[in-house]
Every structure is written in C-alpha cells, then in structure tokens.
Amino acid sequence: MAGQPLIYRGQGFSLRRDKNRFVLPNLFRGTVRESSGSQVLCLAKHESWNCLVGYGLSRVAQFEDIIEQEREFAMKSGQPFDRDMKAMTLYNYHEIPFDGSGRFVLPEDLATLAEVDDQLYFQGAGQYFFVFAPGALAAMTEPQFKGAQVSCASLAKAELKKAGRA
C-alpha cells in the first residue's frame, strides 16, 4: 500500500558461501528491493550494540528528520546533542549490491566491526533489521535478547545441518 512504512519482520540466517558471499534472507529481500528501487542493501554498524543495521535506500531520506527529532528531544530533556556525531553515525553506511538470489559480499570493515566470521543472523526490527554474528548475539546479557538468541541457535543448527557442516 502506498504511503505505508516498509516493515522488516521475522528472522533469517546465512552461512558464508562460495566467493565470500552471504545471502540476504527472502523475508528481507523484497522489502529492501522495494525500499531501494533496486537490489541495494544498506548496512551500517549499530550505534551501541555489537551488530549491524540493515535497511533499503528509502530510509536514508529520513535521516535528517531523525537528526532533528533527536536534537529536539535532547533540548527538551536538557541533554547534550552533537549533530555532527549523529549525522556521521547515520550516514556512515555501505550500499551493497545483491543479486536476484540475495547473495552479497559483506565489506571487510563491517565484518570486523561486528565480529563476523562465517555466519549471520538477521532479526527484523520494524523500519530496519539487525544483523548479528551469532557469537556476538550470544554474548548479549540483557534478557530481551533471549528470544533472538534461541532463534539464532535454532536457525544456525538447521543451516549447518543442511550445508553438511553440523
């Protein structure tokens, strides 16, 4: 429906495959394609968690509004706000092409920042989704991560078995 926000929901998992590629899960692929108008995935390091944030190109058009909303909130609550830092954080993303099957190469700097080895767990979060290395997700101690940790372990087990790596 026109005007409706694009929503990322559900979970997915990918193993690193031939040519150093991962696969964007089908659940997210269509939404990214719709958001970008092409097969371009945007990935950035999460501001505070040890993971990546994924979205389509249409989200970039919202960045200035996000900055302004956070500035207004900081002013009203008497907290400091650094517009340049927030802008640098938001605009520091990679545009990563993917093919019709969702295959993409994760840039080395993002893999390093998120401690990615050969597995990715995808978790829908509404207007964007999170991409975790399973080990980094398992290290999260907040109880709110438990559901994602269980889903990740279950999906990893199934994918490793399917790939003959179990």
Q: Which two tokens stand for residue 91?
A: 């605009």
**Least trusted range by pLDDT, from 2-6, 71-75, 123-127, 134-138:** 2-6
- At 144-155, the pLDDT tens digits run 999 999 999 999
Angle formed by the axes of helices 83-91 and 63-77, nearest 10°: 150
Distance CA 13, CA 41 (A): 16
- The answer to the question of residue 137 being in a domain is yes
- At 94-128, the pLDDT tens digits run 999 999 999 999 999 999 999 999 999 999 999 99
| DSSP letter, residue 6 | P
**Least trusted range by pLDDT, from 1-5, 47-51, 69-73, 147-151:** 1-5
- The answer to the question of residue 5 being in a domain is no
Specify the pLDDT at position 166.
65
Distance CA 90, CA 46 (A): 9
Look up the domain containing 18 and give its range: 11-162
Model confidence at 5: pLDDT above 80: no
1: confidence class by pLDDT, cuts 50, 70, 90 = very low
- The answer to the question of residue 1 being in a domain is no
Model confidence at 14: pLDDT above 80: yes
Sheet with 129-132: list strands edge to edge. Answer: 11-15, 119-124, 129-132, 52-55, 40-45, 94-97
The count of structural domains within the chain is 1
- The answer to the question of residue 4 being in a domain is no
Q: Quick one: the chain helix, strand, coil %, rounded to 5? A: 45, 20, 35
Model confidence, pTM: 0.92
